[in-house]
Structure 1
Amino acid sequence: MEDKYQIFGIRAVIEAIQSGKTIDKVFIQKGLQGNLFQQLNSLLKLHEIGSSYVPIEKLNRLTKNNHQGVVANISPIEFYDLDDLVNQTLESDVTPLFLLLDQLSDVRNFGAIIRTAECCGVHGIIIQRKGSASVTADTVKTSAGAVFRVPICKIDHIKDAVFHMQASGIQVVAATEKTDNDIYSVDLTTPTAIVMGSEDVGIAPSVLKAVDQKAKLPLLGEIGSLNVSVACGVFLYETLRQRMS
């Protein structure tokens, strides 16, 4: 990771938060204690900054510097407010297309999805505050800079975004193999938000229950699934195909 996207040391991270820097995620050594840690923990809760408790080996891999048990990712972007983004999109002369990423955790997959989303005219990507991939130097590189061109929102729970889309007249379609419907039978010409799941477990059951439609990709080989960024690309380009017909 590039140093310009990283801060290490408890006091340095505290000062960064207090100065108003956009912190994407904080990694904290398991078992860390003390007054400074309590101050950091309070700031993380106050500013709703995602954090993970990890073994010291993870922190040592993130930086070779004296991290004092804390490493933070500075976001290279400013995150959008979901209400504002949806309202602005609905007020413009476009058919809304959003992506909801349910705890997708690999930064390279995230970057690849952002790149495809930009090429397909996606109006915004919504991720969960906790459990999702950070916007890092790897994300920027893999997205070929598209991360600076596609609005990204952070929310507490993806299910909240599902309900928000539905209340705004936007259908929510889940990409999942747990259905008999294939993507080619779903009407994607109307305002749509597509939900993609995490690499290991897919879309959470509670999210699947809340969506309007489920769709799968036909798979003719013996491997049961596609890489999530590839699957997302197929869904987005099927949406484009329908809308351009």
Structure 2
Amino acid sequence: MKDETTIFGIRAIIEAIKSGKTIDKVFLQKGLHGDLFKELESIIRLESINSSYVPVEKLNRLAKGNHQGAVAQISPIEFHDIDDLVSSVLESDQMPLFLLLDQLSDVRNFGAIVRTAECTGVNGIIIQKKGGTPINGDTIKTSAGAIFKIPICKVDHIKDAVFHMQSSGIRVIAATEKAENYLYDISFKEPCAIIMGSEGRGINPSVLKVVDHQAKLPILGDIESLNVSVACGAFLYEAVRQRF
């Protein structure tokens, strides 16, 4: 995935971070050592940047030049501050509707969700700094450009966003198959935020413990779950239906 959002080389990545570039993820070569490499690792930890250690073959695919054991993906968007975003929405005449995504891993699912969120009037999307999908060319394409039209915030942990919403008078609703209530039993006519979990694990159990409500979709077939972007669309359009 070599494109305008990819940079490589240890020194180049260090300088990009120091200059304030929004780094989505850094891929580091397994087993690599050296003072400059250690400096990069230290900065990544200090700035809480998403990173992973990978074989050199993956780095060779990501960058054709002398990557020196490090390749970074620069986010094509600027992230918003969650405090500023929530405050501005609450001060407006809008009925708040936020979307929290707990470590989605598929860029196309993320892009599809962003597109649906923009179409349903979501005020902002909150994602976690680490463990989630990067925002890249595939995300932009799948979102049909909606990624540039909806505010996106990053937090250290999704629970931070949950507590922030609750302290601001916004109810938090988790979409989970473990719920006893169905989606249609929940009221979306008040300020609310919806949490969607990752493709494999769903919502982190520690997050489920602190939400206000849990809700599920009725499943009438043999397959026990829906694609996360499809499920998210169902939740968002139920909110639209109730508010329309």
Shorter-chain TM-score bucket reads: over 0.9
In structure 1, the partner of 2:14 is 14
- Structure 1 segment 157-168 matched on structure 2, within 5 A: 157-168=157-168
Number of residues paired by the alignment? 244
Deviation at 1:2, TM superposition (A): 4.8
Q: Which SS does the other structure have where 2:206 is aligned?
A: helix
In structure 1, the partner of 2:85 is 85
> TM-score, with normalisation over the residues of structure 2?
0.97
In structure 1, the partner of 2:65 is 65
In structure 1, the partner of 2:46 is 46
C-alpha separation in 1, matches of 2:63 and 2:2: 10
Kept in 2, the 8 Å contact 1:2–1:137? The answer is: no
Which residue type is aligned with residue 149 of structure 2? R
Which residue type is aligned with residue 122 of structure 1? V
Kept in 1, the 8 Å contact 2:48–2:130? The answer is: no
C-alpha separation in 2, matches of 1:58 and 1:162: 35
1:181 and 2:181 correspond: yes
C-alpha separation in 2, matches of 1:181 and 1:47: 40
C-alpha separation in 2, matches of 1:61 and 1:223: 36
**RMSD across aligned positions (CA):** 1.2
- Structure 1 segment 123-142 matched on structure 2, within 5 A: 123-142=123-142
Which residue type is aligned with residue 198 of structure 1? S
C-alpha separation in 1, matches of 2:41 and 2:2: 25
C-alpha separation in 2, matches of 1:99 and 1:2: 30
Q: Which SS does the other structure have where 1:3 is aligned?
A: coil
In structure 2, the partner of 1:34 is 34
1:99 and 2:99 correspond: yes
Unaligned runs of 5+ in 2: none
C-alpha separation in 2, matches of 1:114 and 1:10: 32
C-alpha separation in 2, matches of 1:74 and 1:125: 19
Runs of 4+ in 1 over 3 A off after TM superposition: none
In structure 2, the partner of 1:204 is 204
Residues 43-68 of structure 1 deviation map (CA, whole Å, 9 limit, x = unaligned): 22333322122222332332333322
Q: Which SS does the other structure have where 1:230 is aligned?
A: helix
